[in-house]
A and B are shown apart, each in its own frame.
Chain A
Amino acid sequence: DSGVTQTPKHLITATGQRVTLRCSPRSGDLSVYWYQQSLDQGLQFLIQYYNGEERAKGNILERFSAQQFPDLHSELNLSSLELGDSALYFCASSRDSYGYTFGSGTRLTVV
């Protein structure tokens, strides 16, 4: 167990739907990062939050949004889902320059 918890582990939904992915960072970590991993694009940085505030944005679509709550857990909301959104979504947290600790990911399948 890395200390970063992601739920659900698997999600199957239909096109056009909306889903919420949840991430609880490692205890004491203030930064949360979301990444999308697909077979053709590799690991793409989506967004970073630090202590509740958005810090950096990567290749995140307008249909996607995220937030970090006062208890530091984060949610990634994906709406108007398309087949191409099927991917593994990873959350990571960090505290210092040591590097990130990743969660086990949520595997999203859009049918």
Chain B
Amino acid sequence: AQRVTQPEKLLSVFKGAPVELKCNYSYSGSPELFWYVQYSRQRLQLLLRHISRESIKGFTADLNKGETSFHLKKPFAQEEDSAMYYCALKGGSQGNLIFGKGTKLSVKP
């Protein structure tokens, strides 16, 4: 079954601390994975996609096929990073995105 698991509902860190938001997936093919960010119940914004290997707002994510993971990392968290983060897998018969339940990141001053 295709599934995305984000084990942490809430992650709270202090400003300047490193952040790692965990994402594990289950998919029987070559996965396409994404991270989306949602500020204060606004629209979801694409943060990263694994195939581009880019860094946005200091965030990076590496696909680890052996561990079926796509963890999101940032070395130094900022208060403005506080938001909901969703990991998503492009799956389904027609390529619809399957989302994890999200992790709420809270960065304290």
| Contact yes or no, A42 B44, CB < 8 A | no
One of A12-20, A48-56, A66-74, A75-83 at the interface: A48-56
Q: How far is the CB of A101 from chain B (nearest CB, A)?
A: 7
The residue in chain B whose Cβ has the minimal distance to the Cβ of A100 is B97
What DSSP secondary structure best describes chain A's contact surface?
A: strand
Q: Categorize the interface residue count of chain A.
A: 20 to 34
Given the contacts A43-B102, A97-B51, A99-B34, A90 and B43 also touching, CB distance less than 8 Å: yes
A-B Cβ contacts below 8 A, count:
58
Given the contacts A43-B99, A99-B34, A55 and B43 also touching, CB distance less than 8 Å: no
The residue in chain A whose Cβ has the minimal distance to the Cβ of B86 is A43
What DSSP secondary structure best describes chain B's contact surface?
A: loop
- Interface flags for A9-34 (1: CB within 8 Å of B; 0: not) read 00000000000000000000000010
Partner pick for A50 among B42, B44, B93, B94, CB 8 A cutoff: B94
| Contact yes or no, B94 A55, CB < 8 A | yes
Q: How far is the CB of B64 from chain A (nearest CB, A)?
A: 20
| Contact yes or no, A42 B99, CB < 8 A | yes
Provide the residues of chain A in CB contact with B90, threshold 8 Å. 97, 99
- What are 16 A-B interface contacts by the 8 Å CB criterion? A33-B96, A33-B97, A42-B99, A42-B102, A43-B99, A45-B96, A55-B94, A56-B93, A88-B41, A90-B44, A99-B46, A99-B97, A101-B46, A102-B45, A103-B43, A105-B41
Q: Which residues of B contact A (CB under 8 A)?
A: 32, 34, 36, 41-46, 49, 51, 86, 90, 92-94, 96-102
